[in-house]
Amino acid sequence: MIEEIINEASQRMGKTLEALHNELKGVRTGRANASLLDGIMVDYYGSSSALNQVANVAVQDSRTLTVTPWEKTMIEPIEKAIMSSNLGLNPVSAGIVIRIPLPPLTEERRKDLVRLVGQIAENSKIALRNIRRDANTHLKNLLNEKEITEDDLRGSEKRVQDVIDKYVKQVDDVIADKEKELMEI
């Protein structure tokens, strides 16, 4: 029973780390990256669809993304969606291809992005602590139901803490790498 609780907590923490990676993909660095546009939703005949569901997004060079809609009528809605996103990008339509030049990041914008990454990291750590709290609550419930002893509870809580420490270190490492990437010129 204790193993199941610890394994479940570890799996949930792994998913939190995976969500952190996915969220950081959307934070713009100095280089062009197709995943930068992953969160953009486009009005597709009255329904909201992800940009990568209505067009092909590719990296043309280190400072330019290209978006090739599958239907010519989608060029204008895609441009509007990209402009209305808070990424600060200005798409340029060139026939059936939309080019998105990525302006170089200013020092001030880099610092803002580092702060944003810090907030994302803190949210991940909060999620990890919530998972730890849930696991410890389950363990205490087992103690109250007399399924485990106090010694088992103390040892299990220490194991849960070891698991969270491992994941917090991974979050810190990922964030440090992202901050380093953001501050590169």
Mean pLDDT, residues 147-176 taken together: 92
C-beta of residue 32 within 8 angstroms of C-beta of residue 63: yes
* pLDDT score for 158: 94
Residue type, 108: E
User: pLDDT of 54-65, one tens digit each?
Assistant: 888 888 887 888
Top-level CATH class of 34-101?
Answer: alpha beta
Among candidates 79, 65, 80, which has minimal Cα distance to 29? Answer: 65
* pLDDT score for 24: 82
Domain with CATH 3.30.1360.40 in the chain: 34-101
Q: Establish how many alpha carbons lie within 13 A of residue 109's alpha carbon, considering only the half-sphere containing its beta carbon.
A: 13
Domain with CATH 1.10.132.20 in the chain: 2-25+106-183
Provide the token pair at 146: 């007399």
Q: Which residues contact 108 (CB under 8 A, 6 or more apart)?
A: none
Topology of domain 2-25+106-183 in CATH is Topoisomerase I; Chain A, domain 4 (1.10.132)
Look at residue 131 and tell me whether its pLDDT is greater than 90.
yes
Mean pLDDT, residues 12-39 taken together: 81
